[in-house]
Amino acid sequence: MKVELLQHSNLKICAHAIRTCWQSFDKSDEGGEKDKELIDRVGNKFKHASTLEHLTYTFYISGVSRALLQELARHRMASPSVKSTRYTLKELKDEDTFTNGMSMIELKEKYTDISQVYSDIHMRRASKYLVFTDVLGVDFASVVALENLRLMLKDGVANDKAKFCLPESYKTELTWTINARSLQNFLSLRSSKAALWEIRDLAIMIFETLPNEHQYLFNFCVEER
């Protein structure tokens, strides 16, 4: 999984929006410590969180599963632009077999311990397209699904129908834009130890990718790491 911050609003934009309400522009220090304290006081302490919506962040997120993508879809006040399976499944067409006709039992018998199974050349090649859970039964089932998808594409089945074979673990990527108010909600929910492990990892990476001068707005949202 990778997270890249593509753009973010300047803090002075949020401070300007807040000062609009009181017409206190003369007290601005152009996004400095006075403005930062104002944003925290009004947006967080006084709960006028709508003012935080003037801060936006755009991330490029890659190497995440479609299962995680479903979780992200529940955060409605955000804008995702997602890698299209309709146009990109051709990446599988020229791949060799991911199973070589081997069953999970045969794969386990081939190696002396589980870690070696994941080092198998076919498993390593499959990991380019799949997010593994480290539960071998689940992961091998995903590899079998990937192989079935590859065979559908080789047989000339159109992407729009072949994609119904996609496992939830299939990797995708997206450009994701979210405002600070919604990001606080996202981080509060998804950094929890009760959250899906993959989206918890994403939440922590997103927080750590934020500019240092913005992180103070979100510190209280992120569970102890």
Q: To 10 degrees, what angle do helices 180-190 and 197-209 make?
A: 140
Q: How many whole angstroms separate alpha carbon 148 and alpha carbon 146?
A: 5
Alpha carbon of 37 to those of 30, 32, 87, 166: distances in Å? 12, 9, 47, 48
Order of all β-strands in the sheet with 2-8: 2-8, 56-65, 171-179, 78-82
Distance of CA 80 to the CA centre of its chain: 10
Residues paired with 173 in a beta bridge? 62
Residue partners of 220: CB distance under 8 A and separation at least 6: 44
The answer to whether residue 190 is catalytic is yes
Torsion angle of alpha carbons 13, 18, 19, 22, nearest 10°?
A: 160
* Catalytic residue of the set 66, 190, 200, 225: 190
Phi-psi group of 100: left, alpha or beta (phi > 0 → left; psi -120 to 50 → alpha; rest → beta): left
E strand map for the chain: 2-8, 56-65, 78-82, 171-179
Q: How many whole angstroms separate alpha carbon 23 and alpha carbon 117?
A: 65
Residues involved in catalysis:
190
